[in-house]
């Protein structure tokens, strides 16, 4: 049985094995649609949803996550990357939201019950693929990475501007109790 996996807001970074969806036809996605108006799939028909630098563009964050919940199968997974709040990209004119660990943690653990928050990770080095710079930065960010993984709130209170993360990665699973 083939799994249905969506890549929302794919842009030019199409992923193999995913249905790539974007509003811009110049990107040549599999489906061209405005996702802020809904995801064009049946209820409970999707196994996994992936997005990278997309969710921050959606004005109605809460309704959009309810829409993702609608199309996901039971125990379906959402994996999302968003710019961390200290990144200059997080304040672009077309970004409706700025994300930090506490916002994501409290929203998905206290505010809503549609999803179970599986994991949140800080990403420090995603823009550096290889080379001497990446090796240097790996050591430079070693202590902040350890602190961020052990005590995210300490990182956010004391270190986020000195050692800024580039992205937050969070993984959600459709909560069975919300069926």
Domain assignment of residue 20, given as a range: 5-123+166-178
What is the C-alpha to C-alpha distance for residues 9 and 47, in angstroms, rounded to an integer?
Answer: 17
- Cβ-based neighbour number of residue 97 at 10 Å: 15
Query: Which tokens is 131 given?
Result: 């080379």
**Does residue 133 belong to any structural domain of this protein?**
no
What is the C-alpha to C-alpha distance for residues 39 and 126, in angstroms, rounded to an integer?
Answer: 28
pTM: 0.87
**Does residue 60 belong to any structural domain of this protein?**
yes
pLDDT in tens, the chain (179 residues): 689 999 999 999 999 999 999 999 999 999 999 999 999 999 999 999 999 988 888 888 889 999 999 999 999 999 999 888 777 666 666 666 778 898 888 888 887 778 999 999 998 866 666 677 777 877 888 888 889 999 999 999 999 888 888 888 999 999 876 55
Burial of 54 (0-12, 13-18, 19+ CB in 10 A): buried
**Does residue 114 belong to any structural domain of this protein?**
yes
SS3 73: strand
Query: Which tokens is 103 given?
Result: 């916002």
- The strand pair at 167-174 and 72-83 is best described as antiparallel
**Does residue 13 belong to any structural domain of this protein?**
yes
**Does residue 33 belong to any structural domain of this protein?**
yes
CB 177 within 8 A of CB 113: yes
**Does residue 136 belong to any structural domain of this protein?**
no
The arrangement of strands across the sheet holding 72-83 comes to 31-32, 19-22, 5-8, 46-52, 72-83, 167-174, 115-123
CATH number at residue 174: 3.40.50.150
**Does residue 149 belong to any structural domain of this protein?**
no
**Does residue 96 belong to any structural domain of this protein?**
yes
Query: Which tokens is 163 given?
Result: 């050692």
What is the C-alpha to C-alpha distance for residues 48 and 79, in angstroms, rounded to an integer?
Answer: 8
Number of domains in the chain: 1
What pLDDT does 124 receive? 84
What is the C-alpha to C-alpha distance for residues 148 and 153, in angstroms, rounded to an integer?
Answer: 8
């Amino acid at each position: 049985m083939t799994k249905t996996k969506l890549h929302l807001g794919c842009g030019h970074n199409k992923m193999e094995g995913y249905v790539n969806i974007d509003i811009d036809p110049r990107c040549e996605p599999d489906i061209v649609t405005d996702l802020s108006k809904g995801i064009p799939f049946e209820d409970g028909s999707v196994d996994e949803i992936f997005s990278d630098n997309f969710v921050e563009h959606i004005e109605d964050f809460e309704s959009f996550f309810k829409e993702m919940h609608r199309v996901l199968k039971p125990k379906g997974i959402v994996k999302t990357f968003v710019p961390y709040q200290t990144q200059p990209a997080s304040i672009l004119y077309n970004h409706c939201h700025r994300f930090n660990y506490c916002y994501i943690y409290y929203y998905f653990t206290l505010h809503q019950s549609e999803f179970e928050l599986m994991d949140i990770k800080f990403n420090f080095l995603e823009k550096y693929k290889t080379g001497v710079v990446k090796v240097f930065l790996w050591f430079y960010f070693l202590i902040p990475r350890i602190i961020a993984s052990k005590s995210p709130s300490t990182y956010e209170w004391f270190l986020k501007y000195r050692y800024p993360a580039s992205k937050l990665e969070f993984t959600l699973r459709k909560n069975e109790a919300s069926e």
